[in-house]
Chains A and B, each alone.
Chain A
Amino acid sequence: MRTNTASVLGVSRTRTERLVNLVICLLSTRRFLTAAQIAATVPGYEHDPEDPKDHEAFQRKFERDKSELRELGVPLETGSASVFDTEPGYRIARRDYALPDIPLAPDEAAAVGIAGRLWQHAGLAAAASSGLAKLRAAGVDVDPQATLGVEPIVRVDPTFAPLTAAARDRRTVAFDYRVPEQDGPTSRRLQPWGVVCWRGRWYVVGHDLDRAAPRCFRLSRVVGAVRLTGRPGAYEPPRDLDLISYVARFSGPIERTGRTTVLVRKGRAAGLRRWAQETVPGPEVDRVVLRYADVDFIATQLVNYGPDVRVVEPPEVRDAVIQRLKETAARHESPVLA
């Protein structure tokens, strides 16, 4: 009896039902089908082609349905049914539609399941879960409980998705960029090559059109929306591109050739003691030796502890600390009003 309810009675159908039937119909045909042929076949498109109003309503409905299928990623092909046909025809090629077979071993499936959960707090969460649903539909069993021992928590900036899409489509973008050391944002034009996550921060790397040179930008410093200003495929990133190399500047291991001796009050400055080369305990203070690479940097570390730490040698570290203390004391001399 269901045949009747499905096609003969022509009762009002849900849009989804019509779309499922449209997909099945277009998958099953090798020839391109014109809109008129589809209307005559697929339930839900019944109309009177002679009635201009009715026909127009059908055309609008069909356009909406096509764009909904494309939105979902259904590869709708357009072509001519025959040399005599002037109307465009449609079909869906099975090889373009179907997800290829993915023979995942159980441990691989577990890894994919964990990967899909990474985005739980971030922008690609919906895409990750619909991607996982497709893998499940392909017969992959994803264990929702599996863990790999270390759980990365991924956070991305809101500009991650548009910048990645622009890099993928090779489209020039423009955005406002604020660096804290500068007073206001500046407008930048970039041909993005890719997006990099380095030490938990996100960057976009590309050809900066204003500087005419490769540049990287921190995503958290982009102010407002990313504007697409160019056509897709407008440029080619360099061959053998190593995105990470633009963000991470390796200077090799830091050489700590300096040696400073400081007196540290008993039970204080635990943060310094962790890096001590040697510690000679005394009755009230301990004599601690630290290695350092840069005078200003070690001075910053030592000055944190105020009177709990006192530099004995060398003079340049001692002087740098005293200089900083003097400036801080002067800045806090009189009460400052907000």
Chain B
Amino acid sequence: MTPGAVRPSADRLGRLLNLVPYLLARPGIEVAQAAGDLGVTERQLREDLELLWVCGLPGYGPGDLIDMAFDGDRVTITYDAGIDRPLRLTPDEALALVVALRMLAETPGMANRDAIERALAKIEHAAGDLAGAPVAVRMPGSDDRLATLRGAVERGRALRITYYAQTRDQTTQRVIDPIRLLMVEGRAYVEAWCRRAEAVRLFRADRIDALAELDEPANPPPSAELHDLRDGVFNPGAELPLITLRVGRGGRWITEYYPCEDVRPDPREPDEWIVTLRVTDLAWAQRFVLGLGPDATAVSPPELVERVRDAATAALDAYAAPVTETL
């Protein structure tokens, strides 16, 4: 069964079967709090309670029906008609929780790993046969570096970092106000307000070359908006320049590593692919094409073709001259 494929009526049935044991475990809970907890509106919750109130054991007499007592805005289940426990986990629910806990346990630099592992053992026990989820997770990374970063983020201090910005090929000093530490696609990032860029930026942990905690609190402006990471870390906006490359078989891997706007085989030479992608700037694109070497040719824009040609020619000219300490 695909997750989320349950019918709406089954959805509501599942919610109702959960509601009785939920309330049973919390006598006298406020209706508003229960609704918030369960992710429904207060009105929806009251409708659910009304429906449950007319359900019960065969006989359906006063002593057979689910009963509850209201005290102002508080509710207490006084008779549960036998649905005093939630339904066991479905295979997909067990899978979702077990795999997520394994993932947390594997995340480098994680606090309280011991609690994660204890929780995993208990959920696996409760899931019984379903716990043997055929899913394994491994996330390599430097535990120490991340623990240091986590400590800094948790203490809530601004940080002065030495950061290597790969797209500009520059190592810079900047002061950042950390917001959170993330793992995305196997890599760790600090999401922070960058006082230099005056924007929220993602800093890759392995490119932070040095770090010092400052004596002032981290204070990102209220307007700071977190990144939407649904589609990964690099979401090239339409304002970024488009480049087109012709890549040989050995360079096709770039289509898996960079989000591409268009990929198609060259009709004249099917071995070669015409790849169009957005880049942060042409200086990066120039280094990218030079690094791909015999596996790529810049096609457009003309400025990129020129830059690549000029860089390669200038470098070759230097090699033709005798070695001096001047390049």
A residues with CB within 8 A of B: 2-3, 5-7, 14-17, 19-21, 23-25, 27-28, 41-43, 68, 71-75, 96-100, 102-105, 107-112, 114-116, 118-119, 121, 123-139, 147-155, 161-162, 164-165, 167-168, 180-181, 183, 192-201, 220-221, 237, 243-244, 248, 263, 265, 268-271, 273-274, 282-285, 287, 300-301, 303-308, 310, 312, 318, 321-322, 324-329, 331-333, 335-338
Contacts and interface: CB of A to CB of B under 8 A. Distances in A.
Contacts of B94: 131
Interface residues of B, number: 143
B304 to A, nearest CB: 9
B160 interface: no
5 A-B pairs with the lowest CB-CB distances in the bound complex, closest first = A200-B186, A306-B311, A131-B93, A200-B185, A194-B134
22 contacts: A6-B54, A19-B13, A20-B55, A73-B87, A114-B104, A119-B100, A131-B90, A131-B94, A137-B18, A137-B22, A138-B85, A150-B181, A155-B230, A168-B133, A192-B134, A307-B315, A322-B319, A326-B312, A327-B294, A332-B312, A336-B297, A337-B299
Contact of A108 (B12, B103, B108, B118): B118
B238 interface: no
B25 A139 contact: yes
A23 B246 contact: no
A78 B29 CA distance: 38
A-side interface mostly = helix
Nearest to A242: B136
B57 A325 contact: no
A110 B54 CA distance: 36
Interface in B117-153: 118-119, 122-123, 125-126, 128, 132-140, 146, 150, 153
Nearest to A117: B100
Contact of A136 (B22, B54, B109, B181): B22
B229 interface: yes
B55 A21 contact: yes
A300 B323 CA distance: 21
A72 B138 contact: no
A274 B171 contact: yes
A28 B110 contact: no
Contact of B21 (A7, A138, A312, A331): A138
Nearest to A152: B183
Contacts of B39: 129, 133
B126 A99 contact: yes
A198 B102 CA distance: 13
B327 A148 contact: no
Contact of A16 (B12, B86, B187): B12
Given A304-B291, A338-B299, A123 B3 contact: yes
Nearest to B84: A98
A193 B293 CA distance: 39
Contacts of B250: 181
B93 A128 contact: yes
B280 interface: no
B197 interface: no
Given A270-B170, A336-B297, 16 more contacts: A7-B60, A68-B7, A97-B87, A99-B86, A102-B126, A127-B4, A153-B183, A168-B95, A180-B252, A237-B134, A270-B164, A285-B326, A304-B291, A310-B318, A312-B323, A331-B294
A133 B14 CA distance: 10
Contacts of B299: 336-338
Given A24-B81, A138-B85, A151-B180, A199 B140 contact: yes
Contacts of B252: 180-181
A147 B186 CA distance: 19
A21 to B, nearest CB: 5
Contact of A199 (B104, B139, B297, B326): B139
A201 B108 CA distance: 16
A111 B90 contact: no
